[in-house]
Structure 1
Amino acid sequence: MTSNPFPQTTVDAVLSHMNGDHPDDNALIVQAFLEPSATGATMTALDADGGDWAWQVEGVPAAGRVAWPAGPISERAEIRREIVALYDAACERLGVTPRPHA
């Protein structure tokens, strides 16, 4: 992980939102980009270059990183844009119809 331009309060808020409100999105991102048979995916960290996720495969923990689609970011608003882009790309890769974005 590189130096993080985001304060820990921002990171904590994003992780809480993703893990509390979007567990299925976490699973899609992990299954599309890291491990197709992953279960129990949670977002564990993020920085300028990407997001980190943890998951299990048949009860065995694993973890990995996915780079932001548009490259490194530095502004808070870019986090949402990049996570939405990952979700949309994951849906496309897995043949899942994405839900509309608010």
Structure 2
Amino acid sequence: MSTPFTADAVEAIKRHMNDDHAGDSLIIVRGMGGRPEATSAVTSDVDAEAITFTIDGGEAVRVPWGETLTERAQVRKAVVMLYRDACGRLGLPARGEH
């Protein structure tokens, strides 16, 4: 697992996802992580290849970005794409801009 992100950047991304997008994380896990039964999802890691969530208090679910990220600015777009794809798979309406 490679990462172009500093430890501080990873912590900031995790904090933002967990504080502001917890519901989106659960949708991503259910739709893109193959865990439709999940009841909670906490962002636990981020690297160049994927975002990792801890679901239901224990299991780690790694969801690939779809491309290798090379800079922090790409994370937001990648998360939005995962969210929209997950909504599509789950038959949910996606919100507009995050």
Tell me the TM-score range normalised by the shorter chain.
over 0.9
Write out per-residue CA displacement over residues 57-101 of structure 1, whole angstroms, 9 at most, x where no aligned residue: xxx6311101102x1011111111100100010011111111111
Measured in 2, the distance between the counterparts of 1:63 and 1:49 equals 15
Q: Quick check: which has more Rg, 1 or 2?
A: 1
| Alignment correspondent of 1:95 | 91
Instruction: Using CA pairs under 8 Å that are at least 6 residues apart, name the structure with larger relative contact order, 1 or 2.
Output: 2
Secondary structure in structure 1 of the residue aligned to 2:97: coil
Aligned to 1:38: 38
Is 2:55 the counterpart of 1:64?
no
**Which structure 1 residue ranges, 5 or more long, are not aligned?**
none
Aligned-pair CA distance for 1:3: 2.3
Q: Can you list the C-alpha shifts for 1:35-65, whole angstroms capped at 9, x where unaligned?
A: 0000110110010001101111xxx631110
For 1:49, give the aligned amino acid. E
CA RMSD of aligned residues (A): 1.2
| Sequence identity percentage | 37
Aligned residues: 97
Query: Higher strand share goes to which structure?
Result: 1
- TM-score, L = length of structure 1: 0.89
Structure 2 runs not aligned, ≥5 long: none
TM-score normalized by the length of structure 2: 0.93
Distance 1:5 1:62 in 2: 25
Q: List, as ranges, runs of 4+ consecutive aligned residues in structure 1 with deviation greater than 4 Å.
A: none
